[in-house]
Structure 1
Amino acid sequence: MSPAAGVNAPLLPDSRKSPEKPPSVSGAVFNVSTSIIDLSVEFLMRYTHAGDTTTYAGVMRESFGKVGSILVQICVMITNLGCLIIYLIIIGDVLSGNQPGGSVHLGVLQQWFGIHWWNSRAFALLVTLVVILLPLVMFKRVDSLRFSSAISVFLAVVFVGISSVMAIMSIFEGKANSLRLLPEFGDKASFFDLFTAVPVIVTAFTFHFNVHPIGFEMEKPSDMISAVRISMVLCAAIYFTIGVFGYLLFGDSIMADILVNFDQNSGSAIGSLLNDIVRLSYALHLMLVFPLLNFSLRANIDEFLFPGNTLLEKDNTRFMSITLILLAFSYLAAIAIPNIWYFFQFMGSTSAVCLAFIFPGAICLRDAWGISTVRDRILAAVMIILAVVTSTIAISTNIYNFVTGNES
């Protein structure tokens, strides 16, 4: 399937055909969201093939000059570095716990062995960084991470599966929380607070910085579109399942990092074991995803700081220096700011939304290769407008909540 195939397909079916069942609002929202993300990837791949480059920064350079490539590199660096810090924060929550809002949640190591200096957040993360993450980030080709990536997907499925079983068990035991189809707005909440979830969703589906390195290592780069669609369905299913079952288990007490909630006493040995497996499986999943994001981040930093130099993989000194500095900075940031919500809000409203929607749409509107159709330009403009409006509302609401003391 060519990259342009999905873009030129009709948006609506033949009006003469009556659907058997009217589509739901939630289904329509998911389809629209999926279509927009698919569209942004198709724009990237199609305009990349039209030019002489094989990178995101390159296609932006061909469209907007050096300023365009610099903007992409900066956004990739901010987004990927923020994600790496988020991963380390979550891993720290699993191993050594957290104290959100003053409530104490113990980590797996603390529950197993008690509270000691060697299972403190700082030391546990340091050992994880040196023993597990450092060897993984030393690979110089993204294809070398295919096995660890496959294992990470399996661990994510284990996490979802066990969480689902626990939620179903709580339903049968009558302990599950009731789901709400609509949000409740209290004295301190408003309709605009809904938009603060947008940055989290955008960050969760921002993978555009890996489209080029993965796609152009494939035998047929055009197959990347199919790979993206399958991956999006898989991720959306995982996110949706965790959201529903997580709320069934924890209700309004659910934390920004849901893994923190799994320290609760289940009342049985089997329940406690399941809690530990859930947390450890996802922590290991993040450890195996970490090097994939680090790969793109390291490459963009190198291209930004050392343009025109020899390939990074052939310069061991440069490769090692950037790698170690990134690991050290991520570690220090994860220790200093142990809350994932702040990073999600910042990235999803700025750098991530630019990479996922604004830049691909701008490339289409710029049309440096003269291949955009009227329909392409309309869709690109709508995509940019939606991204800017929702991000602006989210940023404004977060600032207002912070100033008035209503932040969550």
Structure 2
Amino acid sequence: MSPQLKTHLLPKQEPSSEKHGSTSGVVFNVSTSIIGAGIMSMPAAFKVLGVIPALLIIAIIACLSTISAGFLMKSTLAGESTTYAGVMKESFGKTGSVAVQIATMVATFGCMVIFSIIIGDVLSGNENGGSEHFGVLQEWFGSQWWNTRIFALLSIYGVVLLPLVLCRRVERLAFSSAVSFLLAVLFVVISSVLAISALMSGETKNPRLFPELSNGGSFWNLFTASPVIVTAFTFHFNVHPIGFELKDPLQVIPATKISVILCAAIYFTTGLFGYLLFGDATMSDILVNFDKSSGSSIGSLLNDIVRLSYALHLMLVFPLMNFSLRANLDELLFPMKPSLGKDTKRFIGLTLALLICCFLSAIAVPDIWYFFQFLGSTTTVSIAFIFPAAIVLRNVHGVSTSREKIVAAIMLILAVATSIIAISTNLYSLTAN
């Protein structure tokens, strides 16, 4: 149901000997952009929504995400821009480009901080509400000076993240993205094996197929789960850098469809089996549940593999988030400068500055929950649905069909209404607490 793209809208391109990205690389990069920290909150979303509504919402948001990505590429190729901010500027002027740049920077920086906090929790543990959870390094080696949260994160930033974020072309991240995607699959496989094993031994919880609506507040709380799923399918800030490294940028659309289908299957499997394993005890961060050993050496080993594979997955997703954040910040601060990839001093300066800010934020911020609540109902929903729908309705290039305008209008209304309800419910909950 993605928008139709006609060849006469494409700009003529001169033959070039430059190396281009591959379709398989696009699939892995888009998949890695999609599967981030959102996967760990899927079981909690199932707990709130129930199995059937959660499946329907995942399918709907996955479909709308593919459509909105098609809207973006169609409008982009009809104009002169090659970036998300550029196509927004063509439609809404400088205000539009600044809006998408700020939204993308807030969303990507927030995700990078969330990734860092989770990595720190996995390696060095955390203490929340008086309950202490030991990290993998503490369980293996005891509490040492070198496995404290600050030192562990500093080591990961210097040894793993810094070399990856210094890549100037997103296509060079295709291999790390493939490894990251396989790690996400490993996480799903192990969770599934644990759930099936528990199911066969009669140890699984009874999942609710539909939500419990015992009072009025419960109904409104259902809207707080939708932003989690929206955040989980927000990859649109990487569509342009990934697509325009292809010889034919149109090929990003079928690759995106494949990625979204794969990721939707992973999300549903993770959400269902995680909910089966822990039932109403499912935490917003499913890794907290895996912190408790099952009592056997095999169970303990599987728990450690689940946590470490997920942490490594986030380490490999981190550079893709950084790539988009750095590009948007550079476009906002230095609009008249040459390409960032050709200016070594500016490239390294921005990269190190962002890395340092992210590290300090991850050390200072103790919890990820509020990030998920408000990112999903503000910046990510704008990037994924509101901005692409507005571009189609604005139709400055005259390429939007009547059907696309109807779909865009429905998308816009649903996104705005759901966001308002989610924000209001979250603010009410904070005030009540």
Q: TM-score, normalised by structure 2?
A: 0.86
Conserved 8 A contact 2:81-2:87 = yes
1:172-183 paired onto structure 2 within 5 Å: 172-183=200-211
Give the Å deviation of 1:369: 0.7
Amino acid at match of 1:158: L
Equivalent residue of 1:382, what SS? helix
Q: Partner of 2:166 in structure 1?
A: 138
1:42 aligns with 2:70: yes
Residue number in structure 1 paired with 2:87: 59
Q: 1: CA distance between counterparts of 2:400 and 2:160?
A: 46
- 2:4 counterpart of 1:4: yes
1:362 to 390, 398, 401: 390
Confirm or deny: 8 A CA contact 1:73 1:301 kept in the other structure: yes
Pairwise CA RMSD of aligned residues? 1.9
SS where residue 392 of structure 2 aligns? helix
For 1:44-193, what aligned pairs fall within 5 Å after superposition? 44-185=72-213, 189-193=217-221
Asked if 1:197 corresponds to 2:225, the answer is yes
Which shows bigger deviation, 34-43 or 129-138? 34-43
Distance 1:171 1:28, change over 3 A: closer
Supply the distance in 1 between the matched residues of 2:214 and 2:132 (Cα, whole angstroms).
26
Deviation at 1:136, TM superposition (A): 0.7
1:381-396 correspondence runs (5 A): 381-396=409-424
Deviations 1:243-268 (A, max 9, x none): 11112222222222211221212111
Amino acid of the residue matched to residue 174 of structure 1? G
Deviation of the 1:217 alpha carbon:
0.8
Distance 1:183 1:115 in 2: 42
- What is the rounded CA distance, in whole Å, between the counterparts of 1:154 and 1:349 in structure 2? 29
Identity %: 61
CA contact (8 A) 1:2 1:222 kept: no
> Structure 1 pair 311/364, CA: closer, same or farther in 2 (3 Å)?
same
1:348 alignment counterpart: 376
Q: Which residue number in structure 1 is paired with residue 250 of structure 2?
A: 222
Q: What is the one-letter code of the residue matched to 2:361?
A: A
Task: Look up the match of 1:291.
Answer: 319
8 A contact 1:93–1:259 mirrored in 2 = no
| Deviation (angstroms), 1:219 | 2.2
2:123–2:149 Cα contact (<8 Å) kept? yes
Instruction: Determine helix, strand or coil for the equivalent of 2:206.
Output: coil
- Compute the TM-score of the two structures, normalised by the length of structure 1: 0.91
Gaps of 5+ in 2: 7-51
Structure-2 separation of matches of 1:121 and 1:272: 22
**1: CA distance between counterparts of 2:60 and 2:212?**
25
Q: Please give the alpha-carbon distance, in whole angstroms, between the structure 2 residues aligned to 1:102 and 1:226.
A: 48
Deviation at 1:25, TM superposition (A): 7.1
CA deviations on 1:105-126 (whole Å, 9 max, x unpaired) are 1110011011222212122111
Q: 1:135 to 1:278 in 2, by over 3 A?
A: same
2:361 to 333, 357, 378: 333
Q: State whether residues 167 and 173 of structure 2, in contact with CA within 8 Å, keep that contact through their aligned partners in structure 1.
A: yes
Distance change in 2, residues 1:389/1:242 (3 Å): same
In structure 2, what is the Cα distance between the partners aligned to 1:2 and 1:390? 22
Q: Matches of 1:337 and 1:220 in 2, distance apart?
A: 42
Aligned equivalents of 1:35, 1:225: Cα separation in 2 = 13
Indicate which of 401, 408, 422 corresponds to 1:380. 408
* SS of alignment partner, residue 104 of structure 1: strand
Q: CA deviation at 1:385?
A: 0.6
- Quick one: structure 1 residues 199 and 67, their matched pair in 2 at CA, closer, same or farther if it must change by over 3 Å? same
Paired AA for residue 356 in structure 1: A
Partner of 1:398: 426
1:340-359 per-position Cα deviation (integer Å, ceiling 9, x unaligned): 22111121111111110111
The one of 295, 298, 302 equivalent to 1:274 is: 302
**Once the two structures are superposed, what CA deviation does each residue of 1:37-89 show, in whole Å capped at 9, x if it has no partner?**
12111110111111011111111111111111111111110010011011111
Question: How far apart, in 1, do the equivalents of 2:353 and 2:306 lie?
Answer: 31
Query: In structure 1, what is the Cα distance between the partners aligned to 2:270 and 2:315?
Result: 19
Identify which of 270, 275, 278 aligns with 1:247: 275
- Alignment check: 8 A CA contact 1:61 1:69 kept: yes
Kindly tell me: are residues 249 and 99 of structure 1, through their superposed partners in 2, closer, same or farther at Cα, counting changes over 3 Å? farther
Checking the alignment, whether the CA contact within 8 Å between 1:82 and 1:343 is kept in structure 2 is: yes
**TM-fit CA distance, 1:4:** 1.4
Amino acid at match of 1:121: R
C-alpha distance in 2 between matches for 1:279 and 1:125: 16
Match of 1:305 among 333, 342, 348: 333
